Amino acid sequence: MHITPPSPIAAFAERHPAIAARPAPRSESAAPAFDTLLAAFDGLASGLAVVDELLALVYANAAASSMFASAGWGVRDGLLHGGSAEEQGAWAEALTDVCLGGRRRLVEMRMGETPVFAALAPLPAAGRHLATVTFGRLEICSAVELQLFAKQCRLTGAESQVLEKIAAGRSVAEIAHEHGVEPSTVATQSAAIRDKTGCRSVRALLDRLSRLPALRPAGLGAGAERLRWS
């Protein structure tokens, strides 16, 4: 006689009766949990937004709101507007491809002279054709990430300042000139940084910095106007 094995859930309940007996979370807890999740998204330095194929804004975290605003984009009648006509056309074409064609696309948005790339990916949703917008970083890492990294690696104050300049792409000569010291002093500090961080070269150090989690400084943008979504 064939015996049907118990489901994974039933097997777990049999092995852990105390846990299985716990009451399920009440439905009213979903709203606070959702608000907490949105607050967590606002703590990220990476811009994250959700739009539909017509550029209607569904959601934007604090970083994405700041990026759209810095690029001169805003919301009018529920739709995102901004940039040049060519830029708008590129976004519209890409969103049609993503939302209706199920493909992924890369688009560009200019913040002054700085180009910012955004990855568009289809987002399944009942009754709507949506896309997630994930913005690229404006810098290799932010000041708050550098501070945490410097503290983790026990860098001195002077070494932390040199690390910040290295992350900004400054050369030893440029750092020495800005700090009013000899290049040999900066070279010594740079060597100490590489030794404490376990990086054999500046290139390896920059690669490690680029892998740090993207965090926004505490309170940044707290008083700024947020983009409203539908």
Per-residue pLDDT at 91: 92
Q: 3-state class of 80 per DSSP?
A: strand
Q: Are 162 and 176 in contact (CB under 8 A)?
A: no
For 66-70, 93-97, 117-121, which range has the lowest pLDDT when averaged over its residues? 66-70
pLDDT value at 31 more than 50: yes
CA distance 107 to 207: 25
Please report which confidence band the pLDDT of residue 218 belongs to, taking 50, 70 and 90 as the band edges. low
168 contacts: CB under 8 Å, gap ≥ 6: 139
Average pLDDT over residues 132-142: 86
pLDDT value at 57 more than 60: yes
State percent of the chain over pLDDT 70: 80
pTM for the full model?
0.66
Please report which confidence band the pLDDT of residue 28 belongs to, taking 50, 70 and 90 as the band edges. low
Q: Residue 49: which region, alpha, beta or left (left: phi > 0; alpha: psi -120 to 50)?
A: beta
* Chain segment 150-204, per-residue pLDDT in tens: 999 999 999 999 999 999 889 999 999 999 999 999 999 999 999 999 999 999 9
Per-residue pLDDT at 224: 42
* Chain segment 8-27, per-residue pLDDT in tens: 445 445 554 544 454 544 55
Most confident by average pLDDT, 42-46, 70-74, 94-98: 94-98
15/140: higher pLDDT: 140
